[in-house]
């Protein structure tokens, strides 16, 4: 594909819609990813994505728009996961595993009741951001702004809850409230990201940018900023290669993230050798 043809494709409305939604979702995932990685809740994105698969299957059977089913179900499940993880008898990874495997099994059972695999469910499993319509864009922009605004307003307290939970409690912060806020924002981000990355790949959007940024940043603020930049950059490169080579957008973004992680890790290793 020639450069002229690429820029011509970038002028198409569906590509512009994909860029708008993709950048916003990438930013949301990057911000929440930092908190989830530092608190070792990063797999909650994968768990909620499996819940998303079950909700999509339910929506397909009922003939209802998927987002109206996915949003309440994923949000409620995120609250239950957080509630169980705060119970000392059940660790966070166990709570995530319970909902993840249970929801996946339910989704498979529901889809097996229909003849064949519904095309809409397939696209949600592996991502189809170029297929989003105008109403999807409006709703995605609104939900993304909700996540970004709430994160900005509660930044200082989220920082304390993430870095030093004991000090946050001693400072009079309602830690449980902010734990549930984190789970709520994560649920919204997963709902938004499923269209772009698919239910099988959405957790990568949460994990990779934060892990890469963690290798470079020397403060929480820099970690947040770097994660946002890396997430946005990987999305832009991913969708660019997706258009040029005709490959799935979600998978392309994940591969770019993996390559960047390997590159940063290599530089980190070389720097340590040289320093020694």
DSSP string for 139-177: HHHHHHHHHHHHHHHTHHHHHHHHH-HHHHHHTT--HHH
Name which residue leads in pLDDT, 220 or 11.
220
Range with lowest mean pLDDT among 4-13, 192-201, 260-269: 4-13
* 1 pLDDT higher than 60: no
Which CB contacts under 8 angstroms, 24+ apart, belong to 156-164? 158/35, 158/182, 159/220, 162/34, 162/35, 162/38, 162/39, 162/220, 163/38, 163/220
| Mean pLDDT (whole number) for 208-237 | 90
Q: Which helix (H) or strand (E) is 267 found in, with range? A: helix 249-275
d(CA 144, CA 185): 9
- Residue 249's nearest CA partner among 12, 8, 3, 19 is 19
* 6 pLDDT higher than 70: no
d(CA 175, CA 82): 12
pLDDT score recorded for residue 200: 64
| Mean pLDDT (whole number) for 54-73 | 78
pLDDT score recorded for residue 122: 61
Name which residue leads in pLDDT, 178 or 49.
178
* 189 pLDDT higher than 90: no
pLDDT score recorded for residue 212: 92
d(CA 229, CA 177): 29
pLDDT score recorded for residue 226: 93
pLDDT score recorded for residue 124: 64
* 262 pLDDT higher than 90: yes
Q: pLDDT-derived band of residue 229, with 50, 70 and 90 as boundaries? A: very high
Q: Which residue segments constitute the domains of the chain, with CATH numbers given?
A: 3-275 (1.10.3470.10)
Contact 6, 243 (CB under 8 A): yes
- Residue 193's nearest CA partner among 241, 143, 148, 159 is 143
Contact 194, 49 (CB under 8 A): yes
Mean pLDDT for all residues in the chain: 80
pLDDT score recorded for residue 218: 84
pLDDT by residue (tens digit) across 99-136? 778 887 887 787 777 665 555 566 666 666 666 777 77
């Amino acid at each position: 594909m020639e450069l002229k043809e690429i820029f011509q494709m970038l002028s198409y409305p569906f590509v512009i819609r994909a860029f708008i939604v993709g950048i916003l979702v990438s930013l949301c995932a990057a911000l929440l990813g930092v908190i989830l990685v530092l608190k070792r809740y990063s797999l909650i994105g994968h768990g909620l994505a499996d819940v998303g698969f079950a909700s999509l299957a339910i929506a397909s059977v009922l003939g209802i728009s998927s987002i109206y089913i996915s949003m309440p179900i994923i949000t409620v499940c995120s609250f239950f996961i957080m509630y169980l993880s705060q119970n000392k008898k059940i660790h966070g990874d166990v709570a995530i595993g319970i909902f993840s495997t249970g929801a996946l099994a339910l989704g498979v059972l529901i889809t097996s009741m229909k003849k064949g695999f519904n095309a809409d469910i397939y696209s949600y499993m592996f991502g189809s951001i170029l297929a989003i319509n105008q109403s999807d864009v409006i709703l995605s922009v609104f939900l993304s702004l909700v996540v970004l605004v709430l994160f900005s307003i509660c930044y200082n307290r989220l920082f304390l809850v993430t870095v030093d939970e004991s000090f946050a409690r001693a400072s009079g912060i309602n830690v449980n409230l902010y734990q549930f806020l984190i789970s709520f924002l994560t649920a919204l981000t997963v709902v938004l990201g499923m269209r772009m990355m698919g239910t099988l790949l959405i957790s990568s959007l949460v994990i990779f940018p934060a892990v890469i940024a963690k290798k470079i940043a020397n403060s929480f603020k820099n970690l947040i900023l770097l994660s946002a930049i890396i997430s946005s950059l990987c999305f832009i490169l991913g969708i660019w290669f997706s258009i040029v080579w005709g490959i799935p957008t979600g998978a392309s973004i994940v591969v770019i993230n993996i390559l960047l992680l390997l590159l940063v890790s290599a530089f980190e290793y070389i720097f340590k050798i040289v320093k020694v």
